[in-house]
Amino acid sequence: MDYERAAAVVDEFQDLLAQHRAKDAYLAKIKPPVIVGGGSRRTHPDEQPTREALAEFHAEILQRQPLIEDIAVEVDAVDNPARFAPLPTDAFGWRWASAMEATQRLVGVLRNRSVRSAILGPSGPLLAANQLHPWVWNAAVDRWDSSHWTDAVDAAARAVEELTQHKTNLSSLSGPDLYSKAFSTEPPEPGRSRLRFSAIPEKSEDGKASRRWTSAHEGAGAFGRGCAQGIRNMHAHGTAELSEQQAIEFLAALSVLARWVDTADVVREA
């Protein structure tokens, strides 16, 4: 979660509430009392513009309210998101009073994260699932949102394999064999292209094979085989349903593999 951006969004929401409260108080001040018995009611010239401004603020607050509730759920499990909703009637005061109080608490939670970290210790790095490689996340997201962790991982693994086959034109291969051939340090063969990390020179300055180049490709091939055998074939191994933490770790591994395949150049037989 981007806590800095979340804090800015909540600050903006709080400012909207403050502006609505100021307009609401001004309207109460200028609104003439109800005349009983047929007397005339003189309307203040600011009454109608103030009502219109209140309506605009109210609409804007309602539009932003769901996002604020989502942020509150994410960072402050103690708070009740329902508190951000307007009261059903303004007969007993300002309708957004509860929302302002909840927002003030949320602002404090977000602003005090650095202090809490210093006192309670760091929470560790956070992994943003939607920042995983698109091959992985686009395949997994629907199943992930429905809490089907194992299916999400399986879909992502299949997607990476299929896109690797498509990029390398190695559709006849699958699983460990696909990644072994794709990243093989041997020259490409007829109908069997290779993936190459072009940023790593194949030859060292003395004209010999670069150990770094060899290690990079052999490592990528081994990593691909590990993903194929240890992740892609989970169902074949009879693996029980994954936990959310296990699933995100598997997706992260697949994301690394997907980035290597995606960024590598395709080399075909000359």
How large a percentage of the chain has pLDDT more than 90?
51
Q: Within this chain, do residues 101 and 162 fall inside the same structural domain, yes or no?
A: no
Q: Within this chain, do residues 78 and 161 fall inside the same structural domain, yes or no?
A: no
Q: Choose the final residue of a domain: 120, 150, 167.
A: 120
Average pLDDT rounded to a whole number, residues 184-199: 89
Q: Is the pLDDT of residue 58 over 90?
A: yes
Average pLDDT rounded to a whole number, residues 220-225: 95
Lowest mean per-residue pLDDT among 47-61, 123-137, 179-193, 251-265 = 123-137
Average pLDDT taken over every residue of the chain: 86
3-state secondary structure of 84: helix
Read off the pLDDT band of 1 (50, 70, 90).
low
Q: Within this chain, do residues 133 and 115 fall inside the same structural domain, yes or no?
A: no
Lowest mean per-residue pLDDT among 27-31, 37-41, 141-145, 148-152 = 37-41
What is the pLDDT, as a whole number, of residue 127? 76
Q: Within this chain, do residues 210 and 110 fall inside the same structural domain, yes or no?
A: no
Lowest mean per-residue pLDDT among 71-85, 128-142, 196-210 = 71-85
User: pTM to 2 decimals?
Assistant: 0.57
Q: Within this chain, do residues 111 and 19 fall inside the same structural domain, yes or no?
A: yes
**Domain containing residue 167:** 129-267
Q: Within this chain, do residues 105 and 205 fall inside the same structural domain, yes or no?
A: no
Q: Within this chain, do residues 148 and 114 fall inside the same structural domain, yes or no?
A: no
Residue 137 CB-density burial (10 A; 0-12 exposed, 13-18 middle, 19+ buried): buried
What domain count does the chain have?
2
Q: Within this chain, do residues 223 and 249 fall inside the same structural domain, yes or no?
A: yes
Q: Within this chain, do residues 176 and 256 fall inside the same structural domain, yes or no?
A: yes
| pLDDT tens string 70-105 | 999 888 766 677 888 888 875 568 889 999 999 999
Tokens of residue 265, six digits:
């150049």
What is the pLDDT, as a whole number, of residue 113? 75
What is the pLDDT, as a whole number, of residue 76? 78
DSSP assignment of 119-165 equals: HH--------GGGS-HHHHHHHHHHHHTT-HHHHHHHHHHHHHHHHH
Average pLDDT rounded to a whole number, residues 203-223: 88
Lowest mean per-residue pLDDT among 9-18, 45-54, 109-118, 232-241 = 232-241
What is the pLDDT, as a whole number, of residue 68? 92
Lowest mean per-residue pLDDT among 36-50, 64-78, 181-195 = 36-50
What is the pLDDT, as a whole number, of residue 141? 93
Of 130, 152, 133, which Cα lies nearest the Cα of 143?
A: 152
For helices 134-145 and 244-263, what crossing angle results, to 10°? 160
Q: Within this chain, do residues 104 and 142 fall inside the same structural domain, yes or no?
A: no
What is the pLDDT, as a whole number, of residue 204? 79
| pLDDT tens string 140-178 | 999 998 989 999 999 999 999 999 999 998 889 999 999
Of residues 258 and 31, more confidence is placed in 258
What is the pLDDT, as a whole number, of residue 35? 58
Q: Within this chain, do residues 77 and 136 fall inside the same structural domain, yes or no?
A: no
Q: Within this chain, do residues 196 and 252 fall inside the same structural domain, yes or no?
A: yes
Lowest mean per-residue pLDDT among 93-102, 109-118, 227-236 = 109-118
Q: Choose the final residue of a domain: 97, 120, 143.
A: 120
Alpha-carbon separation of residue 7 from 57, 71, 92, 108, 124 (angstroms): 20, 9, 30, 9, 20
What is the pLDDT, as a whole number, of residue 225? 95
Q: Choose the final residue of a domain: 102, 120, 138.
A: 120
